Chain A
Amino acid sequence: MREKSVLEMHGIYKSFPGVKALQNVDFYLREGEIHALMGENGAGKSTLIKVLTGVYGKDAGEIYLKGHSGPVRIHSPQDAQNAGISTVYQEISLCPNLSVAENIFIGRGKGMRVSWKQMNSDAAKLLTSLDIPAKPTQQLASCSIAVQQMVAIARAVDMDCRVLILDEPTSSLDESEVAKLFRLMRQLRERGVGIVFVTHFLDQVYEVCDRITVLRNGQLVGEYEIEALPRVQLVSKMLGKELDDMADIKNNLPVSTEKDSVPVYEAKGLCSTEGIQPFDFEIRRGEVNGFTGLLGSGRSESVRAIFGADRVTSGEVKVNGTPVQIKKPIDAMRHGIAYLAEDRKRDGIVGDLSVRDNIILALQVKNGFFKPFSKAKAIKFAREYIKLLDIKTASVNTPVASLSGGNQQKVILARWLLTHPNYLILDEPTRGIDVGTKVEIQKLVLKLAAEGMSVTFISSETDEMLRTCSRLLVMRDRKLVGELTGDQLTQSHIMNTIAGGEQA
């Protein structure tokens, strides 16, 4: 082991059926540091943490802990806890109906006897020493989420943990709560605890962390001192585009946007219950634009607000220049807006229903309760779009759940195209599908736009966005922070805007 290390992971491999989640990943955590573990979704952050905490077994590799000679074996979360590794998850895993003191000491007593007085005074000491604003006898549920999280941390600290893993602890906290949490983290750093901090918020990483380890596609990209890695570099490492190699792809799209025409859709100060900052947005006939930003930056929430998928709290919306109210999806559908949701399984398919029913669903709902399509007509619609989009299915009656991911996606696309929308929103239409289908979908988007449809396209892959969009709206930390058009549409520009603050 290196000097000062509290934890070392060497050559960790882990695979799931069909996925290599971790390949030869090394991770070093030093005493008294806050270490950010960064990567896009699917990069392997959570798998690494679950291997470390014994939730998953590893396929190969070794874990060393300070004070243990030789590699340690961690087979269960209990093992991890005994070895001094504690985890605080995004969702609080304490008992809300017990008191703060009980939560700190639960499951750790030896024997049957409990001295409540002793327990409460110990808890009080611990809470004051960590500066946590809670009383030992207070019921946990009556504390704010931030305090609950701190209590969870206090519990971990009191169990003599030397490695503390904080998995997205700040995602449900407001600014002042985050500040309190950071103060606590710094205190623990003084005490020599090694903290692994997982977050999507770049600002927070630069505020509190000492080192960054970046993972991508299950592989280690590298470990960096925070000063040595400017934001833009970090983003490019996470996305896997070296700034030097990035040949700026010129956007050769014919800009078919009719600049002076009335926008097909226009919103001012649109805001929903999902915690995005109010934003302005417009799209014209034949335009393809896109929302970009890191995961959790609010790009999905923005388009959901446009479609009325979440509860819209404020904003003025105009469709073709006429003010309208879009409160729920059916309103949007009646105004010719279609929305292909990000999570295909959760928000897209109706698994047990046939391909035919899945294709006609949206148009049928739009058509009304008393006007069902005849079976023949439904089959005709389904066959037409199966042919148009080249959907591979045994028959129109096959349950959609038995199709492959790409074909399921095409079925949902068919559903929305069948409604003949004026404005189509595609949220990650190419995620998790094979390359061939990805290209098909991109081509289709351009073809539809050429025919006069307006499209908003969201993708985690910047290449795709650059190929299809003539205008990009950049989001960071749930705020619309920039708009890029024309010459600005380059990888480096996008990354700069995503990272914010400094320029490369």
Chain B
Amino acid sequence: MTEKTVLRKQESWISSILRHQIIIPIAALLLLSLFNLIADPSFFCITLGHNSAGNPVLSGNLITIIDCGSELAILAIGMTLVTAASGGQDISVGAAIAISGSVIIRVLCGTNTRPDTLQAPIIVAFLVACLVAMAFGAFNGALVAFFRIQPMVATLILFTAGRSIAAWINNNELPVISDESFTYFGGYLPGIPIPTPFFIALLCYLITWAVLKFTTLGLYVQSVGINEKTAHLNGLNPVLIKLATYILLGLCVAVCGLIKVSRISTINYSVIAKDIEMDAILAVALGGNSLSGGKFNMSASILGAYVIQFLTTTLYKFNVQSDALSAYKAVVVIVLVVLSAPSVREKLSALVRKLHTSGQTTPAA
């Protein structure tokens, strides 16, 4: 093998990495880590302590990130599928989380707002919430798939009505659940020092991975998203596939609802999962996925979700006030999104190639 071909191999290796989609969230993660490492290395500190129940728990910023980023990561799974298949986003997920959270509480509390014991097993409450959330997902999906309404407009309906529906489910009361086992899902399992939401997110990711591996969902969703007419002529039913992605997103919403209400053992209809839809969409975009549908990379989306949480936690760490948080976040988001735009990436990888070749030729000359 001549030296020249070796050179070309290296070069294509670098540019192929640069072209790979998952590079965007990884680069963002590295940048944020680097920033924290320089600004204050104690950011990465993890300590083992005990919580009020006497369980051993790990605490630290990294733990906060994997804990609080879980809901976003789970939502990003469904949002990625919906985006890929329908070329639009579901902006009602926050409101839908409020609904499914409210359903869980309603089933667990029955008619009593301060029950001493749970009125139903938690699994039953969760399954009911799943059904309800999937039904709302189907509603959104039907508007998009059957009636061909723009996804954002179609989901605007539930976005507007969702929190009222959530409040109505519990007669606008704020029931509190005192049962300790209910806190496990949003807190810690006895004896395990890592927060449960992380395990739930991990499980969701593994299930999604298996589904994408052992079914043709990925190929179907991408085909429908890229060229609906071709998909139809190849025997697919685009309407059904779009509908299915919205129902799957509904399932993700129900899981998030469980985590959210478990965290505080009650519900605040107007605050729960507020603005989470925008973060979920952002996670998909940060993952380098086109928001107009088509090809997707699930791992990149999920990583994107953790990048957002990493950013939020970093900003809190530097005492940015919570009302100013969004403004700072916006600045970082602009940078990340511009950098991940295909045209910018193309130019960047061309630049890297140029630097690389000039770097190789200079010593020779």
A interface residue numbers (CB < 8 A to B): 307, 309, 328-330, 333, 339, 341, 346-353, 357, 361-362, 364-366, 368-372, 415
Contacts and interface: CB of A to CB of B under 8 A. Distances in A.
Given A352-B294, A364-B216, A369-B215, A329 B232 contact: yes
A363 to B, nearest CB: 9
A415 B232 CA distance: 14
A353 B233 contact: no
A351 B234 contact: no
B230 interface: yes
B226 A352 contact: yes
Given A353-B295, A357-B219, A365-B235, 8 more contacts: A309-B232, A347-B233, A350-B222, A352-B295, A353-B219, A357-B223, A371-B216, A372-B219
Interface in B212-265: 213-217, 219-220, 222-223, 226-227, 229-237
Contacts of B236: 330, 365
B235 A333 contact: yes
Given A347-B230, A350-B222, A350-B227, A330 B235 contact: yes
A362 B295 CA distance: 18
26 contacts: A307-B233, A309-B232, A328-B237, A330-B235, A330-B236, A341-B230, A346-B230, A347-B230, A348-B230, A349-B227, A350-B222, A352-B294, A353-B226, A353-B295, A357-B219, A361-B234, A364-B219, A365-B236, A366-B235, A369-B215, A369-B217, A369-B220, A370-B214, A370-B216, A372-B219, A415-B234
A333 B235 CA distance: 7
Contacts of B294: 352
A398 B215 CA distance: 23
Nearest to A372: B216
Contacts of A415: 234
A388 to B, nearest CB: 20
Given A369-B217, A372-B214, A362 B227 contact: no
Cβ-closest 3 pairs across A and B: A330-B235, A365-B235, A372-B216
Contacts of B219: 353, 357, 361, 364, 372
Contacts of A352: 222, 226, 294-295
A339 B234 CA distance: 9
B235 A329 contact: yes
A353 B235 CA distance: 17
Given A352-B294, A369-B215, A372-B216, A362 B235 contact: yes
A365 B231 CA distance: 10
Nearest to A334: B235
Contact of B226 (A333, A348, A351, A371): A351
A350 B215 contact: no
B215 A370 contact: yes
A371 B216 CA distance: 7
A257 to B, nearest CB: 28
A353 B219 CA distance: 9
A353 B223 contact: yes
Contacts of B235: 328-330, 333, 362, 365-366
User: Which residue, of B214, B216, B223, has the highest number of chain A Cβ atoms within 10 A?
Assistant: B216
Contacts of A372: 213-216, 219
Contact of A346 (B213, B215, B229): B229
Nearest to A345: B227
B141 to A, nearest CB: 17
Contacts of A329: 232-235
A348 B226 CA distance: 11
B210 to A, nearest CB: 12
Contacts of B232: 309, 329
Nearest to B294: A352
Nearest to B216: A372
A368 B226 CA distance: 20
Interface in B177-200: none
Interface string B277-311: 00000000000000000110000000000000000
B136 to A, nearest CB: 24
Contacts of A368: 216
Contacts of A341: 230, 233
Contacts of B222: 350, 352-353, 357
B226 A350 contact: yes
Nearest to A416: B234
A284 to B, nearest CB: 25
A368 B235 CA distance: 10
Nearest to A371: B216
B234 A365 contact: yes
A357 B231 CA distance: 12
Contacts of B214: 370, 372
